[in-house]
Amino acid sequence: MNRAVMTLAAAVLTSLFTQAVRAETIKVGATSGPHAQILEVVKQNAAKEGLTLEIVEFSDYIQPNAALAAGDLQANSYQHQPFLNAQIKARGYDIVPVGKTALFPIAFYSKRYKTLAEVPAGATVALPNDPSNEARTLLLLESAGLVKLKPGAGVTATPVDIIDNPKKFKFIELEAPQLARALQDVDLGAINTNYAIEAKLNPKRDALLLEGPQSQYICEIVVRRQDADKPWVKTLVAAYQQDNVRAFIDKTFNGAGLAGW
């Protein structure tokens, strides 16, 4: 076979491979609300590169990883690294982060009080019961001087690790989706932004205590380890990390969500 024929054959194979990649369709899981909304913009970007996204929405934080690990999804976009680490440790998932997405600061809200200073001693404080987000809220309380945690507790902290509780807060643990509904029954509650927005709460306007932009809890696109090097993964991440997605986050969430890349 002469060089010209070999070059032509290589070009044909490359073209066929590119077309196969460009014709690919994947299912991407996300929690309802902000993460799913952002994916609608990402979907348009991906389509321009020939990658079709089918967005599958979930109402909790557990099922998107279970579905991904089972192969019912090819990717998900909703969780930060500490939550992912906790899920992998607890459930043995072989899934990995491949690209940063957005930060949705967690915050404390109250239906009874207008400022944090008004929250009385002995107040009942509701926290999310998943390990990573519970630790996240305790670290936020510590940053405000409301509790002190055992040295080294960090991203695995629980109420058991509180070594100083000057206002004698009483902590209760609830499923994250329940926290907004439970707000009327407690003095103070920590709510993830996606659930806060669904409950018509605006973190910038309504939060008594809000996580800052330097948080370690930036969310990630996650895939199965066996897929991490596939071409569509690079296309998906690039479709997310675009200026029009950043602009959508800034405009839609008005500071309640921040681009994390």
CA-to-CA distance for 108 and 193, rounded, in angstroms?
Answer: 10
For residue 148, what pLDDT is reported? 98
Name the residue range of residue 142's domain. Answer: 107-210
Q: Is a pLDDT exceeding 50 seen at residue 16?
A: no
Output the pTM of the full model.
0.76
**Residues 186, 134 within the same domain:** yes
**Residues 146, 224 within the same domain:** no
Q: For the ranges 2-11, 19-28, 118-127, 245-254, which has the lowest average pLDDT?
A: 2-11
**Residue pair 95/213 in contact by the 8 Å Cβ criterion:** no
Closest CA to 134 of 186, 172, 91: 172
**In the chain, pLDDT over 90 holds for what percent of residues?**
82
Helix %, strand %, coil % of the chain (to 5) = 45, 25, 30
Torsion sign across C-alpha atoms 83, 103, 215, 255: negative
CA-to-CA distance for 254 and 261, rounded, in angstroms?
Answer: 17
The number of folded domains in the chain is 2
Output b/e per residue, 170-207; b: 16+ Cβ within 10 A: ebeebebbebbeebeebbbbbbbbbbbbbeebebeebb
Tell which of 188, 210, 232 closes a domain.
210
For residue 3, what pLDDT is reported? 55
Q: What is the CATH number of the domain that holds 168?
A: 3.40.190.10
